[in-house]
Amino acid sequence: MRRVYVVGVGVSRVNRRFSDSLRSLFAEAALKAIDDAGNPRIDAVVAANMMSSRLQEQDSLASLLADAIGLRGRMGFKVESACGSGGSAIVAGYSLVASGLADVVLVGGVEKMSDYPTRTVTRALAQAADAEYELFYGASFAGLNALVTRMYMEKYNVKREVMAEWPVLMHENGRANPYAQLRFKVSVEDVLKSPIIAEPIRLLDCSPLGDGAAAIILAGEEYARRLSDTPVEIAGLWQATDCLDIASREDPVGVKAARIACEKAYKMAGVEAGDVDVVELHDAFTIMGLLSLEELGFAGRGEAAKLVADGRFRVGDKPQVNLSGGLKARGHPVGATGVYQAAEIVMQLRGDFPGLKASNAEVGVAENIGGTGASVSVVVFRR
Amino acid sequence: MRRVYVVGVGVSRVNRRFSDSLRSLFAEAALKAIDDAGNPRIDAVVAANMMSSRLQEQDSLASLLADAIGLRGRMGFKVESACGSGGSAIVAGYSLVASGLADVVLVGGVEKMSDYPTRTVTRALAQAADAEYELFYGASFAGLNALVTRMYMEKYNVKREVMAEWPVLMHENGRANPYAQLRFKVSVEDVLKSPIIAEPIRLLDCSPLGDGAAAIILAGEEYARRLSDTPVEIAGLWQATDCLDIASREDPVGVKAARIACEKAYKMAGVEAGDVDVVELHDAFTIMGLLSLEELGFAGRGEAAKLVADGRFRVGDKPQVNLSGGLKARGHPVGATGVYQAAEIVMQLRGDFPGLKASNAEVGVAENIGGTGASVSVVVFRR
């Protein structure tokens, strides 16, 4: 298979971007990435987005976004896997380059939520769950994550206050990241006293609503060195699905699709969990961050929160996790999140991430979850 | 590049399928295709759909559909290019196999519209156009096609009654197709007397609203002969975008993205327009059928309607066009349409299409348009 490299990245600050449209937000990140790659000819645009159909009443999104950056006439389509759209788009973009259909591909994610009432956005987000088996019965997306959290706490005897260490660490990391939406410290007490969203999930366990766009440029091996002094290889990747509804899962207290995607991606890259230096994983809620640590092989079952409380996963550790602040503090512009993660890992491996810098970063991993685990992608990057 | 073959196809009858859900409709077509391919192990599911986010309030669609046919844990994501989603999904599925990431991929499209008021569906369909530059000003999707129709008639001096020959031919063809939604004859007079939808477009110029699902199984060359006695090669394919809004097009009376996709796909397959035996093209409205004939190289500018009236494009001619009845009579289950077209061409090349059969079919082409030309895919098949 033809080797594929990331030769450019661009991200916009996650925030409530009321004065930006889908087009302008996407263009900001995409043009940065194209510039970072030395302005190559782009053969294809793979767009990642979850909610434009519901919120902006706009489909045919890839055509719209490609046109917004002057790329009419190129290949372009949108990829959707709910909150996991970004990672799936990277898989699609990778295969366009690996197959030889395209030489240089822009994978760009964008999401805009701030213009709508929270109730509208919450309902749109819930479309990541099963409309007939879950939402019909009144479940919200936070409510479903609360069920998993409660089962996790009971099954592994994990204390609520220990789990609060996760958002504390994320806010600590996010403070240094100029692209992060939330850049303030919080304490365990702050987390435990923040408003209840869906018991036992509290406000500070939840990633914030925000707008954002991120883009990466993928290129075939012959083009990589020509376009970048510091190309980062995609050494392995996979994406796997599971049923949407939690009740039908083999084990509701886990993310099996993450395990499958991880095994395949690690094998393809020839790495093991112990080889990974830096990780961006999908902590839309505290529970998803902890389960991701466990499914990716960085913590035993039920042990992730304890390890976080013990001071693990900081700069200098192996692996160093969510130095961006994660979804919790960098923010979670849904369909764009997987592309943010990829861009951040690439910057860590190149040494030019503008926030907390990883030490000795050779191998990086990005993990992006759709729904409560219905779709998970894992991408392994190597310097 | 690894060669890719279609080793199985399955389609459901397009109709108002009130008693089917997205899941059951998809499963009907997908299981037929899997059976047709001898029940191979499927590595990935690429789902094509436009409107589930808006109408069924359901995202994460590929995970849902893969689960519906017992394929949890496999790769799976949705591809969207409005009405061109099916063709784009084939491109994505093709590249997964051509790259070697997957050996056997199911590409399946599904769309359900009948459960909703026509007004709701019409608004959802209009999301294929530009929400900010077109829909905001009150344009409907039929209205935009009407503008193009009027410009076409004036630019090339084409008479309304000559254009009516297209739906007449489509209804004639569709009568023999057991999967077609509309199976009755119409006359030129019927077309010209049918209700005005958006002057000069009349009801019988429009593809009907209906539900449907179609699936094809793609396999790498080493697997093709093992899985099928009659594998059909995808000899070339491409997909191209244009701006969404007609007013910004280089030439509003044409589909430039079709021309680009066609040139690339023909070149990749090593064929010319004159080599093509059988075609399924995207006649969502009469104008799009005629423009497609011209952009694919089967008619000169402004000449397509005249050729249809002269008796061209029937069985025995070269090429034989829309023997399924096309979007006009087979129906247009939006996100699934591109997959229907591919399945129909494959059946024509294998000789087992259950409707009008093409004669001497060696090379076939499927063309699928998104919006008024914002995304077009062209796939060349060879027996």
* Nearest-by-Cβ selection for A101 from B67, B98, B127: B98
Residue A101 binned pLDDT confidence (cut-offs 50, 70, 90): very high
Contact assignment for B60 to A374 by CB distance below 8 Å: yes
pLDDT tens-digit series, residues A122-131: 999 999 999 9
Q: Average pLDDT of A272-282?
A: 98
The answer to whether A372 contacts chain B (CB < 8 Å) is no
Residue A216 binned pLDDT confidence (cut-offs 50, 70, 90): very high
Residue A119 binned pLDDT confidence (cut-offs 50, 70, 90): very high
Chain A residue with the nearest C-alpha to that of B134: A58
- Among candidate residues A206, A262, A282, A332, the one labeled active-site is A332
Contact assignment for A128 to B238 by CB distance below 8 Å: no
pLDDT under 70: residue ranges of chain B: none
The rounded distance, in Å, linking the Cα atoms of A318 and A19 is 40
In this predicted structure, what is the pLDDT of residue B135?
94
pLDDT tens-digit series, residues B144-174: 999 999 999 999 999 999 999 999 999 999 9
Q: What is the 3-state secondary structure (H, E, C) of A4-39?
A: EEEEEEEECCCECCCCCCHHHHHHHHHHHHHHHCCC
* Intra-chain end-to-end CA distance of chain A, in Å: 19
Instruction: Please name the residues between 306 and 335 in chain A that touch chain B, using a CB distance below 8 Å.
Output: none
The answer to whether B229 contacts chain A (CB < 8 Å) is no
In this predicted structure, what is the pLDDT of residue A226?
94
Contact assignment for B92 to A88 by CB distance below 8 Å: no
In this predicted structure, what is the pLDDT of residue A174?
98
The answer to whether A58 contacts chain B (CB < 8 Å) is yes
Residue A14 binned pLDDT confidence (cut-offs 50, 70, 90): very high
What share of chain B in percent tops pLDDT 70? 100
pLDDT tens-digit series, residues A347-357: 999 999 999 99
In this predicted structure, what is the pLDDT of residue A239?
98
pTM for this one? 0.98
CA B262 from chain centre, in angstroms, equals 14
Chain A residue with the nearest C-alpha to that of B123: A57
Cβ contact A31:A60 at 8 Å: no
pLDDT tens-digit series, residues A46-87: 999 999 999 999 999 999 999 999 999 999 999 999 999 999
Contact assignment for B79 to A79 by CB distance below 8 Å: yes
Q: Which amino acid, one-letter code, is at B110?
A: V
Angle ∠(B274,B277,B282) on CA atoms, nearest 5:
95
Residue A13 binned pLDDT confidence (cut-offs 50, 70, 90): very high
Q: A236: which 2 tokens?
A: 């392995």
From residue A124, give the alpha-carbon distance in Å to each of A243, A344, A371. Answer: 19, 27, 12
Q: Average pLDDT of A360-383?
A: 97
In this predicted structure, what is the pLDDT of residue A364?
98
* Nearest-by-Cβ selection for A53 from B66, B96, B127: B127
In this predicted structure, what is the pLDDT of residue A23?
96
The rounded distance, in Å, linking the Cα atoms of A100 and A82 is 28
pLDDT tens-digit series, residues A137-173: 999 999 999 999 999 999 999 999 999 999 999 999 9
Residue A199 binned pLDDT confidence (cut-offs 50, 70, 90): very high
The rounded distance, in Å, linking the Cα atoms of B224 and B205 is 40
pLDDT tens-digit series, residues B232-257: 999 999 999 999 999 999 999 999 99
The answer to whether A273 contacts chain B (CB < 8 Å) is no
Is the bond preceding A195 in cis, omega lying within 30 degrees of 0? Answer: no
Contact assignment for A67 to B256 by CB distance below 8 Å: no
Q: What CATH number was assigned to the domain covering residues B4-116+208-382?
A: 3.40.47.10
The answer to whether B130 contacts chain A (CB < 8 Å) is yes
Residues of chain B contacting residue A75, judged by C-beta atoms under 8 Å apart: 91, 238-241
Contact assignment for A242 to B135 by CB distance below 8 Å: no
The rounded distance, in Å, linking the Cα atoms of B278 and B358 is 7
pLDDT tens-digit series, residues B202-221: 999 999 999 999 999 999 99
Residue extents of the structural domains in chain A = 4-116+208-382
Cβ contact A65:A23 at 8 Å: yes
